[in-house]
């Protein structure tokens, strides 16, 4: 959102309005690893969720420190700890975006060295069901 300022009445009051920017962005074909046009709205938020959860926070200089999730720090930790931390890390990573209101309905399972998590991401475009698998050993 970008703030826009203008002066009202006799110039004694400055009013700020927030202009909502579009969520239009490049569409990524994750299978072929290339850009294939544009995407907007709900699909742009889905793509954002996938990218944020696949990006390790603080690892790439191109992204701000608010972008990504700190999944690598869970490697080698006990499963109960991983469950609680995954919930916190995912919620923290996703709610940095204004289009995402909340994350809930977490469901966890694990098999050998992988933890599978399912969640519901509540966005301004409606709820989105997300699944993610994290290697922990």
pLDDT digits (tens, 9 = 90+) for 40-57: 999 999 999 999 999 888
Q: How far apart are CA 132 and CA 54, in angstroms?
A: 9
Taking the CA atoms of 95, 99, 103 and 109 in sequence, report the sign of the dihedral they define.
negative
Bridge partners, residue 100, by sequence: 123
pLDDT higher than 60, residue 116? yes
pLDDT higher than 80, residue 6? no
Q: How far apart are CA 23 and CA 43, in angstroms?
A: 9
pLDDT higher than 60, residue 83? yes
CATH number of 24-135: 3.10.450.40
What pTM value is reported for the model?
0.79
- The angle subtended at Cα 41 by Cα 99 and Cα 35, nearest 5°, is 110
Domain ranges for the chain, please list them.
Answer: 24-135
């Amino acid at each position: 959102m970008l703030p826009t300022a203008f002066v009202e009445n006799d110039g004694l009051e400055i009013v700020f309005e927030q202009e909502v920017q579009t969520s239009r962005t490049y569409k990524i074909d994750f299978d072929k690893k290339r850009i294939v046009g544009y995407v907007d709205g709900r699909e742009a938020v889905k793509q954002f969720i996938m990218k944020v959860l696949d990006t390790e926070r603080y690892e790439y200089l191109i992204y701000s420190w608010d972008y990504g999730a700190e999944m690598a720090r869970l490697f080698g930790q006990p499963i109960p700890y991983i469950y609680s931390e995954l919930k916190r890390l995912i919620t923290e990573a996703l709610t940095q975006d204004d289009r995402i209101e909340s994350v809930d309905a977490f469901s966890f399972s694990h098999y050998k060295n992988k933890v599978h998590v399912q969640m519901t991401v509540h966005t301004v475009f409606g709820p989105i069901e997300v699944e993610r698998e994290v290697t922990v050993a």
